[in-house]
Structure 1
Amino acid sequence: MSSIPPELLFCVLENVYYTFKGTPNYKLLKICAQVCRTWSGPAQSLLFRSVKLGNIHAFHAALLSSEARGRALGNCVQTLDMSIVQYNPDSSCLSTGVKILQACPQVYKLVLGLYGVDLGEEILEKLRVAGQGLKALSLVYYGTQSPILYQLLSIWPNIQVFKIGSSMFPLLPWDIATPPPLQSNADDAGELAQRYGAEICVYDLVLSFMPTPEALTWLLASSADSLRILEVRESMSLTELNVLARHAPRLRSLRLGFYNAHSVALLRMCTAIEELVIYALDLPPRCPLAPNLPSSIEHLSLRIQNDSHRMTLQPVIDAVDALPNLKVMACNGQVRRQHYDEYAMLESRCRIRGVDMVLSDAIGRTTEWDCSSLAEHQKWGFGEEGRRTIEWKRRARDENFWRQLE
């Protein structure tokens, strides 16, 4: 085994990097790292590709333990997940977190939790330099009238994938009531300062928590031609719907936490959509289902609410009939267990239409996608229990986007 060239071994291990759930296979890689010295290096480099920090001080110490080894391991990190809790002004957690980001220059995706943190000018400058390569940012902040959203997106203009909120802390509210920053009008000193928008061109936006309409407008100011994937986990107000409406015609994937009048209004504007995921659908729905679905949909994924006393699958059967381009229909597993007869009708209708019927209780679970390997995503299909969707395939086909991320 030790005679296998490290480069070849790395390619072999990279092919088994992901589990069936699409997450890094840490268990296998740890075993491989213990086989022999030849295997240890390639396996450890993949183990450090995606790092979730429990103790940021311990990880920073590991990077400093050996200059050559620490630099090598830091260069392996491509996705970094860390939370910074600043209990008092003298806490070193924030400065240590900045040093870790500086020691990992290949990081393209950052999952960042900030609690009780205020970002001063000196820290912001260090973050700006250290995060020049960032393309994806997942941000959760718990505080009062926080400007952090505006600060980070202003210093990291290359962010294309952005998530507000985190499934890890669903009960901590976002508080970004602070209005967007002002910009003085240089042409007319007498004119009042005006709001300006973020420079980032967002490709994929996940709104686990809905920001204020002013913050949402600021966030999407430069994304009219770039936004293709949108996930909205909370109910929308009419004002928020109006902000998102200008982006709807170009969306190719829409994921909704609720199916109500406002989400239906947004959906009907999505004339080029290929994938629709609804995480909480009552049956029968309060709003009609089939008449409101754009004919361009190829993948329809529904997590049907568990209400066996009044539930009927007829709206889903009608939706299958109404979508001429449908290729995959996915829903959660208890539908078959509780409504076997109607499920058999749905399955038969899909078979007649040539539509793949997929059962998966994973629908609705938030998975942080890892795009560190373009080749890996190009090979992904629908996979076990429908965890690989058309959207994964579509993302992999968008080669220019993936080259930018790598």
Structure 2
Amino acid sequence: MKNQARLLTTTPTTPSAKILPPHLPLDVIHRVLDLAYYDDNFEPDRKLLARCSLVCKDWSLPSQSLLFKHVQLRTQSAFESFSAAVNHDSEKGRHLANSIARLHVLLDFGNADALSISSFVAAVHLSSAMFELEVSIFGRGARREDDAWIVDAGADQTPSFDADILAMLCCGPQISALRVNNWSGNDQLALQLLCVWPTLSSVHLTGLAPAVRSPESPDETIAPFPCNLREAHLSFQSSPTLSFATWLLLNSSQSLRVLHLEREVSPDLSKFLISQHKSTLSSLTLHACTNPGLASLIQDCEELEELQFMDPHVSPLLLKKLPRALKHLAFAIDRNTLLHAAVDGLRAMKTLRRITIDVCPGGRVHPSMPGLKVACATNGITLSRTSSARAFHALVRGDPLPVTTFPRTKNVTNLKTMLAISRSKDFAAAAASPRSVASLNVESLAACGTLPPTVDLSMELKDSTKPASALVMV
């Protein structure tokens, strides 16, 4: 027995085969990653997605595809990593390029590693299926030198885009939504970019309010903006002029559905815009509403389904008698908000289904808050609360897509819809009238690099666990 025991203890055991975890179905992986895409402030959670791309081979490409749904390019180094990742010579590069629904570029001449103008143009062309472009421009006092804006204390403003740059942008993807954040001293930059794309249905302008004038003759006004806009978001440092608002929305009298004036504008401008578009507006956002005349105009908007205020100060006359078709009401609350008026107004509302409130300091202890909760519960109204201004702004903005329900949302499904719209639009445009770059300046085109070929949507993807080189940089 001892010998047998010794034999048992000295005989090496056969190592058991390594048990690999089972593969999750691809649709389950996509569902998990889609739910993890946005953080609490409705911004893409890039750090989490970058980690997910390193989990295993099955997770790599889906995670990277989500990372490239919304690309940010802040520096020239980021662009170089981005262009390597979306290299059209590889199937994976073409797939990542075709995943870009949003592109955000930052032009800051004060940065030593600033994105060059030619790289900006090349990034637009590389994003062949892009739906929305966001351009942020910073700084005052610059001059143009070769392909860059250089700090120059003697210059009074950032230079405008030259004709070759605008022509090359025209030859890129035909986007549907444009955001321009102009924090430079040049009030013509936003106008230049607006006139590049005749396919725009949504514009979001912040920073310096544009001045409508001809660059050749400052005393001569330019032709009205040609696009039929569905959405207009205006958030300027100072109230825009009536001439600019008229120029921007003259051809949108029958198409404008969403009007967002997130910063305070003059009462006359607010009244003018609402009176001009009250028959078509379905969503209206204002900074505040304390003017009785403005409140009366809003009450007359018969098609209005969503009403939102960024500031806690709202006229009790409006809160007591909301537009009759309203489905979603959003506003901020502090200790001085006349919340009892909203509680009284809810009793007469038959269509209201959701209220979203941004609880500012002091709003948590508002004496009418319990009454609001009871009124919402009694009338079957969903009450959503947040104490984050960033989250509140993201909630009230939503994605720039046509909607039939409110509040509008931000989710991955919307990003996929944007890509589908862009692909169908570019395909139709190419079939009807293929864009040509033959008439453009050859040297300028060379400076922007070779334009990418058309992306083949039917390709078979070769996955890799190696993350794209642009994941950390974009």
Question: If the length of structure 2 is used for normalisation, what is the TM-score?
Answer: 0.67
Q: Given the alignment of the two structures, is residue 30 of structure 1 paired with residue 50 of structure 2, yes or no?
A: yes
Distance 1:361 1:353 in 2: 24
Select the residue among 114, 119, 131 that pairs with 1:108.
Answer: 131
Structure 1 residues 152 and 312: CA distance shift in structure 2, 3 A: closer
Q: Quote the Cα distance in structure 2 between the aligned partners of 1:34 and 1:138.
A: 32
The DSSP-based 3-state class of the residue aligned with 1:322 is coil
Structure 2 residue 239 is the aligned partner of structure 1 residue 216: no
| Structure 1 residue 329 corresponds to structure 2 residue 372 | no
Deviation at 1:347, TM superposition (A): 2.1
Aligned-pair Cα RMSD in Å = 3.7
Question: 1:163 deviation in Å?
Answer: 0.6
The correspondence for 1:60, drawn from 80, 98, 108, is 80
Q: Does the alignment pair 1:275 with 2:275?
A: no
Name the structure, 1 or 2, with higher relative contact order (CA <8 Å, separation 6+): 2
Counterpart of 1:344, as a letter, is P
Which has the higher mean CA deviation after the structures are superposed, 271-280 or 298-307? 298-307
Counterparts in 2 of 1:141 and 1:194: CA distance versus 1, 3 Å: closer
Matched residue, 1:142: 183
Deviations 1:17-59, CA, capped at 9 Å, x for gaps = 3446543343432222111233212211111111122324432
DSSP-derived class of the 2:104 partner: strand
**Could you tell which deviates more after superposition, 220-229 or 145-154?**
145-154
Deviation at 1:108, TM superposition (A): 0.9
1:347-388 CA distance string (max 9 Å, x none): 2222222222332224674329675999xx99xx9xxxxxxx
Alpha-carbon separation, structure 2, partners of 1:237 and 1:216: 13
Answer yes or no: is the 8 Å Cα contact 1:335–1:343 preserved in 2: no
Provide Cα deviations, 1:191-238, integer angstroms capped at 9, x if missing partner. Answer: x98753212121121111243211111111221122111111223341
Structure 1 contact 331–363 (Cα < 8 Å) conserved: no
* Greater Cα radius of gyration, structure 1 or 2: 2
Aligned to 1:202: 229
Asked if 1:122 corresponds to 2:169, the answer is no
Closer, same or farther: CA 348–93 of 1 in aligned 2, 3 Å: same
Given the superposition, is the C-alpha separation of residues 228 and 182 from structure 1 closer, same or farther in structure 2, using an over 3 Å criterion? farther
Whole-Å separation in 2 of the counterparts to 1:220 and 1:392: 25
Q: Which amino acid aligns with 1:125?
A: A
Unaligned stretches of 5+ in structure 1?
Answer: 166-172, 184-191, 382-388
2:259 maps to which residue?
Answer: 230
Shift of 1:126: 0.7
Quick one: distance in 2 between partners of 1:199 and 1:320? 41
The answer on whether the counterparts of 2:79 and 2:119 sit within 8 Å (CA) in structure 1 is: no
From the superposition, tell whether residues 216 and 39 of structure 1 become closer, same or farther in structure 2 (CA, over 3 Å). same
**Equivalent residues of 1:145, 1:175 under 8 A apart:** no
The whole-number CA distance in structure 1 between the counterparts of 2:129 and 2:76 is 18
Residue identity opposite 2:248 in structure 1: L
Q: Distance in 2 between matches of 1:401 and 1:51?
A: 14
Structure 1 residues 292 and 131: CA distance shift in structure 2, 3 A: farther
- Determine the C-alpha separation between the residues in 2 that align with 1:212 and 1:135: 25
Counterpart residue number, 2:290 = 260
Aligned length: 368
Task: Please say if residues 45 and 73 of structure 1, whose CA atoms lie closer than 8 Å, have aligned partners that are also in contact.
Answer: yes
Give the stretch that moved more between structures: 106-115 or 290-299.
Answer: 290-299
Q: Is the 8 A contact 1:329 1:357 kept in 2?
A: yes
Q: Distance in 2 between matches of 1:349 and 1:175?
A: 41
Per-residue Cα deviation, 1:240-295 (whole angstroms, up to 9, x for no partner): 5324421122111111111122642541342111111111133xx55623455211
The runs of 5 or more residues in structure 2 that have no matched partner are 1-20, 139-157, 424-474
Looking at structure 2, the residues matched to 372 and 41 of structure 1 have their Cα atoms a distance apart, in angstroms, of: 26
CA distance in 1, matches of 2:215, 2:254: 23
Between the aligned partners of 2:59 and 2:22, the Cα distance in structure 1 is 7
Residue identity opposite 2:68 in structure 1? F
Aligned CA distance change for structure 1 residues 18 and 275 (closer, same or farther; 3 Å): same
Match of 1:249?
279
Aligned with residue 313 of structure 1, among 306, 315, 339 = 339
* Distance in 1 between residues matched to 2:185 and 2:103, nearest whole Å: 26
- Describe the shift of the 1:4–1:101 C-alpha distance in structure 2 as closer, same or farther (beyond 3 A): same
Kindly indicate whether residue 407 of structure 2 is the aligned counterpart of residue 390 of structure 1.
yes
Question: Is residue 203 of structure 2 the alignment partner of residue 162 of structure 1?
Answer: yes
- Structure 1 residue matching 2:347: 3-state secondary structure: helix
Alpha-carbon distance, 1:402 to partner: 9.0
Counterpart CA distance in 2 for 1:401 and 1:43 is 18
- CA drift of 1:12 comes to 5.2
Aligned equivalents of 2:269 and 2:401: distance in 1?
Answer: 39
Contact 1:251/1:273 (<8 A) preserved: yes
Instruction: Give the corresponding residue for 1:355.
Output: 381
Q: Secondary structure at the match of 2:103?
A: strand
SS in 1 for 2:369: helix
